[in-house]
Amino acid sequence: MSGISRKRGFGAAQIILFLSIAILVVVVAVPVLLIFFNAFWVNGTFNVRDVLRIIGEPDTWQALVNSLIIAAGTTIGSTIVGTFFAWLVTRTDLPCRRFMKGMFMVPFMLPSFIGALAWKMLLSPRAGFINRFFMVHFGLSGPIFNIYSYAGIMLVEVMYLFPFVFIQVCGALERMDPTLEESARISGAGLFTITRKITIPLVLPSILSGALLIMLYSMAHFGTVAVLGIENGIFNIPTLIYQRIHQSAGSFASIRTGTVLATVLVVTAAFIIWLQGKILSKGHYQIIAGKSFRPMELKLRALRLPLFLFCTVWIGFTILLPTAVIFLVGGLKTYGLAFTWENLSLDNYKFILFRYRVTRDAIWNSVTLGLAAALITMFAGVMISWVIVKMKVRGKGILEFLGMLPFSVPGSVIALGVILAWSGKYGVNLYNTVWIILVAYIARYMAFSLRANSAALEQVHDSLVEAARVSGATMWQALKDIVLPLVRPGMLAAFFLIFLPALRELTVSIMLYAPTTRTIGVAIYTLNEDGETVMSAALAGIALIIIVTGQLLVDRFIGRKNAG
């Protein structure tokens, strides 16, 4: 690049840098800092004793312990299930492996609070369909399983979170150089020894990294615990924050408790992320293949059919049964009626889509919020990634840190921070409007956009732009004709990575909604809380249709792009 053009671009570069820092500071840094500030700073003094007192209160302490218990149980369960299924579909002769692999990833798409809702209908102690079936037909005096329990919560979370481990381990097993295992085999080791001594140790970093991801997610997870735990008084940190703030309509004491709990959550999350980074950097072996033949397959022999049946039953129980229950209940005239043709109709669905104000608003809000958040975050993400990846300026490290911060900041914490920052204390009051949800979404999803866009920009080597400049293109032309076409897939990916999760968002929206600003997730949750189980199920059914269609369209669209 010539010295002249460099000087001319200097002003623009400064503006972009300033803008990037400003966006991240206002949207991400301020809310998080306000949480720490409010937690530790009381009446103008730094106060740790008070923080400890709040943590020591029986309710808050119990919530902390519950978060840990549920997260630990969920993590262990999901890791075992995910690793086992990953091994089954990549290393054995299980029938229909490709299909099974696809099905095991489906729970990724399904919002776990909708799953929780379905399981509540199936296994709630008195009214659950399965429990009632056994009580009526086998004369059992009590339920065979009470879903309103620690075990129930963990079970449902395992069902919908195990894909985190499954996908990581599948990827590692598929990318792993088959000769690593073959050389063990020619060394004289049998398949069992190889699995134990070579395969598992080599994919251990992937297993652990997936496990920590689940831990992080479960610690900060709102939906399942809210749907299944509150009945029996089981609160975890996010549900307690929500309950306190919701009950007291945002009183000072409740916000303070919230900030303290949020601080604990952030610290735990930061520790988990740190641990994950440590494991990945230390144990990340180069195990990727050069040329490769198919990896060895374990012949399951007599176990082949039983394991196939087990997988089928698992898929039936985690995907088909809950989905069917949601749609069936959504079609009932009143909750509690039997599933007969007279009792089932599409009336609820019609009502929800066309006449019922609350749900119509919710669908509209979710779609517009999702689109707006995805668009804004996508463009801001490109700009900030450009600064991080391409600009040689000082201070870009801060940008990188700020941008990735939301990865370690759970949704309920972001929501709380946004309340602190945008409810009039600092001149702008967005509370009770959709804008506060939009701001929270942008903060929450910025990291997704930065990651996708940075990855795309890394691919665009400086020499490509330089070659365009040498060929006579101006900086602007080079950006338009060279950089933009190459970065577009990353931008698209960022858009959908934000739009689809935003459609089903619950954790953040539940803390920020006002009567007219419910999102789909909030509407499903509140309808269920208000006892409108049928309406809630119908809306959940519609949400499932929207989410799955969206995901399929994206897969098709992006899949075709990659092929072409």
Partner 1 sequence: MSHVRLVNVTKRFGSVTAVNALNLEIDKGECFSMLGPSGCGKTTTLRMVAGFEDLSEGEIHVGGRLISSREKNWYLPPEKRDFGMVFQAFAVWPHMTVRENVAFPLRVRGLPAAEIESRAKDALASTNLLSAADESPADLSGGGKQRVALARALAINPDVMLLDEPLSSLDPHLREEMRFEIRDLQRKYGFSIIYVTHDQAEAMALSDRILVMKEGVVQQIDTPLAVYSNPVNRFVFSFIGLSNFLDVVRAGDRLAFPDGGELPLTSPLRDARLSLASRPSEIDFCEPGKGDLNGIVSRRSFLGEIIDCRIKTGGGELRVQKGRRAPAPDVGKSCGLKLLRPFWYAETEATKSG
Taking alpha carbons only, the member of 306, 540, 386, 380 closest to residue 22 is 380
CB of 202 to partner 1, least distance (A): 6
Q: With respect to partner 1, which residue has the nearer C-beta, 169 or 437?
A: 169
CB of 169 to partner 1, least distance (A): 16
3 state SS for 473-501: CCHHHHHHHHHHHHHHHHHHHHHHHHHHH
21: three-class secondary structure by DSSP: helix
Q: With respect to partner 1, which residue has the nearer C-beta, 30 or 194?
A: 194
287 is a contact residue toward partner 1 (CB under 8 A) = yes
Choices 86-94, 247-255, 280-288, 522-530; region in contact with partner 1 by CB under 8 A: 280-288
Q: With respect to partner 1, which residue has the nearer C-beta, 121 or 198?
A: 198
Q: With respect to partner 1, which residue has the nearer C-beta, 209 or 268?
A: 209
126: three-class secondary structure by DSSP: coil
Q: Which of residues 71-90 bind partner 1 (CB under 8 A)?
A: none
Distance CA 529, CA 536 (A): 9
Name the token pair of 564: 């072409």
293 is a contact residue toward partner 1 (CB under 8 A) = yes
179 is a contact residue toward partner 1 (CB under 8 A) = yes
Element (H, E) at 42: strand 41-42
Rounded to the nearest 5 degrees, what angle is found at the Cα of 319, between the Cα atoms of 313 and 320? 75
Please give the full DSSP string across 76-113, using - where no structure is assigned: HHHHHHHHHHHHHHHHB--TTHHHHHHHHHGGGTS-HH
Q: With respect to partner 1, which residue has the nearer C-beta, 176 or 378?
A: 176
| Helical H segments across 319-470, by residue range | 321-331, 347-350, 357-389, 396-408, 411-422, 434-459, 462-470
CB of 210 to partner 1, least distance (A): 18
175 is a contact residue toward partner 1 (CB under 8 A) = no
Choices 63-71, 178-186, 380-388, 404-412; region in contact with partner 1 by CB under 8 A: 178-186
286 is a contact residue toward partner 1 (CB under 8 A) = yes
270 is a contact residue toward partner 1 (CB under 8 A) = no
Name the token pair of 226: 């809210």
Taking alpha carbons only, the member of 298, 297, 293, 299 closest to residue 179 is 293
Q: With respect to partner 1, which residue has the nearer C-beta, 293 or 476?
A: 293
Choices 279-287, 315-323, 471-479, 500-508; region in contact with partner 1 by CB under 8 A: 279-287
Q: Which of 29, 64, 154, 202 binds partner 1 (CB under 8 A)?
A: 202
3 state SS for 216-260: HHHHCCCHHHHHHHHHHCCCCHHHHHHHHHHHCCCCHHHHHHHHH
Do 419 and 512 meet the contact criterion of CB atoms below 8 Å apart? Answer: yes
361 is a contact residue toward partner 1 (CB under 8 A) = no
Distance CA 119, CA 142 (A): 17
CB of 252 to partner 1, least distance (A): 53
429 is a contact residue toward partner 1 (CB under 8 A) = no
Query: What character string, x for contact with partner 1 (CB under 8 A) and - otherwise, covers 294-333?
Result: --x-------------------------------------
- Interacting residues with partner 1 (CB under 8 A): 177, 179-180, 182-190, 193, 197-198, 201-202, 204, 283, 285-287, 289-291, 293, 296
